[in-house]
């Protein structure tokens, strides 16, 4: 506790908290194209570079596709790199997202989550972030502004770990976090330098340069994909290890792949990801006041998916309600389907709730009502909160 009280604390909106973490991570190359609700992050990074607080090259590009192509080349050449985007911008990056993932290039991208058109919307949901779940990127998501700061620093370290070497996407909810000011405890620069030293490896050998065509024969293609799958599974223990190290430095609890909130003795549980996990925690407390043994399992790392942790925490539940801000149309809530798959064979009833699309308001009361309906036998297998 003493260590926490001594921490430097700043009042930061989410975009500025991520920019502050990026400044401390000392990337050499940035390429970011403005898009709502991420734009103020780009503006803050430009201010840091203009003032000399961040010694980096901010490349002016004409699109998100070019942004990722720019940092892709810089990262292959050995630079620490960063970009950020949202919604249609992430889709426009799409081709290069898969190039970076397939070649396992270390980089960090912050995604200020936002609904995808059509219809046009500038408000929050997770459809953009979750659309890249098969792009061979590690995906982590923050609940609040403090986590957005913490996870950004951890993302650089995870991405550059030689046991993993993979791009990392850090998601945080558009407007709900990007434009909300919170008290944020930040590390000192020397602590970040210790946690995140300069990258020590290159993906190419400059002493013996060669040209390599990107095409793979069928046998090699299959092997490369298999190696990526093994690296993704290997990343689980690496992420846990790095988060434990960060916990020692920061003095703040870091929960690894998932966070269990009062779920150890719970009979019913919510599963969530992102900012509305805070609303779910309030609902859990209110339900417990009513005598209902409720808990929450928050997904902090979406890829690799923590199916072992889900089994560990949810295997004895009488009912699990998964809240989704993203849908696979024709299949259902994306997170709900992942949880059902993880619990296959355990006979745990899993219910899907689709809510909050395009920024539709969701409050603790909504979580409470759905749980009460489950206990009273009125909850459908899939419910949309319209």
Is beta strand 258-261 parallel, antiparallel or unpaired with respect to 268-272? unpaired
The pLDDT of residue 205 is: 83
Domain spans of the chain, in order of start: 9-250, 258-384
pLDDT at 1 over 70: no
Place of tokens 């203009």: 50
Rounded (10°) angle between helices 39-51 and 14-25: 40
CATH code of the domain occupying 9-250 = 3.40.50.970
SS3 of 31-91? CCCCCCCCHHHHHHHHHHHHHCCCCCEECCCCCHHHHHHHHHHHHHCCCCEEEEECHHHHH
Helices (H) and strands (E) in the chain, counts: 14, 17
Distances (CA, A) of 349 to 224, 278, 337: 37, 24, 12
Mean pLDDT computed over 234-261: 96
> Which residues does 95 contact at the CB level (< 8 Å), separation at least 6?
65
Q: 225-235, pLDDT tens digit by residue? A: 999 999 999 99
Q: 300-351, pLDDT tens digit by residue? A: 999 999 999 999 999 999 999 999 999 999 999 999 999 999 999 999 999 9
- The three-state secondary structure class of 145 is helix
Q: Are 303 and 334 in contact (CB under 8 A)?
A: no
Q: What percentage of the chain exceeds 70 in pLDDT?
A: 99
Q: 19-66, pLDDT tens digit by residue? A: 999 999 999 999 999 999 999 999 999 999 999 999 999 999 999 999
The pLDDT of residue 5 is: 52
Mean pLDDT computed over 286-313: 97
pLDDT at 2 over 50: no
pLDDT at 243 over 60: yes
Confidence band (pLDDT; 50, 70, 90) for 201?
A: confident
pTM: 0.96
Mean pLDDT computed over 359-368: 97
pLDDT at 3 over 80: no
pLDDT at 94 over 60: yes
**Cα-trace Rg, the chain:** 21
Domain over 258-384 is classified CATH 3.40.50.920:
yes
Confidence band (pLDDT; 50, 70, 90) for 200?
A: confident
**Gap between the Cα atoms of 364 and 35, Å rounded:** 30
**Gap between the Cα atoms of 127 and 105, Å rounded:** 24
- For residue 259, give both structure tokens: 């966070």
Can 9-250 and 258-384 be said to share one CATH topology? yes
**Gap between the Cα atoms of 162 and 140, Å rounded:** 19
Of 1-15, 152-166, 264-278, where does mean pLDDT reach its minimum? 1-15
């Amino acid at each position: 506790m003493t260590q926490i009280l001594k921490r430097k604390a700043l009042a930061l909106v989410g975009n500025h908290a991520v920019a502050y973490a990026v400044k401390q991570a000392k990337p050499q190359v940035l390429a970011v194209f403005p898009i709502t609700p991420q734009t103020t992050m780009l503006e803050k990074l430009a201010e840091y570079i203009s003032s000399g607080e961040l010694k980096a090259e901010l490349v002016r590009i004409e699109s998100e596709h070019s942004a990722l192509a720019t940092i892709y080349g810089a990262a292959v050449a050995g630079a620490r790199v960063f970009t950020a985007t949202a919604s249609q911008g992430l889709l426009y990056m799409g081709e290069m997202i898969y190039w970076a993932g397939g070649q396992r290039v270390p980089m960090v991208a912050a995604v200020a989550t936002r609904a995808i058109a059509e219809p046009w919307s500038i408000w929050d949901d997770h459809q953009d972030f979750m659309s890249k779940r098969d792009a061979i990127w590690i995906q982590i998501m923050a609940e609040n502004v403090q986590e957005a700061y913490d996870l950004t620093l951890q993302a650089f370290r995870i991405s550059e770990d030689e046991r993993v070497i993979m791009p990392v996407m850090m998601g945080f909810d558009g407007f709900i976090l990007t434009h909300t000011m919170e008290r944020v405890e930040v590390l000192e620069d020397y602590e970040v330098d210790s946690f995140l030293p300069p990258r020590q490896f290159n993906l190419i050998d400059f002493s013996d340069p060669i040209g390599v065509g990107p095409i793979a024969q069928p046998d090699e293609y299959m092997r490369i994909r298999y190696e990526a799958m093994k690296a993704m599974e290997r990343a689980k223990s690496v992420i846990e290890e790095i988060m434990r190290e960060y916990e020692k430095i920061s003095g703040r609890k870091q929960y690894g792949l998932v966070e269990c909130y009062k779920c150890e003795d719970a009979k019913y549980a919510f599963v969530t990801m992102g900012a509305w996990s805070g609303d779910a925690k309030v609902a859990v407390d209110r339900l417990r006041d009513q005598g209902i043994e409720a808990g929450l399992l928050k997904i902090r790392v979406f890829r690799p998916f923590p199916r072992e942790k889900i089994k560990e925490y949810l295997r004895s539940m009488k009912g699990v309600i998964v809240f989704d801000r993203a849908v696979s149309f024709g299949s259902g809530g994306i997170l709900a389907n992942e949880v059902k798959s993880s619990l296959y064979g355990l006979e745990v009833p899993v219910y899907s709730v689709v809510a909050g699309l395009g920024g539709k308001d969701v409050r603790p009361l909504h979580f409470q009502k759905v749980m009460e309906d489950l206990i009273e036998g009125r909850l459908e297998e899939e419910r949309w909160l319209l």
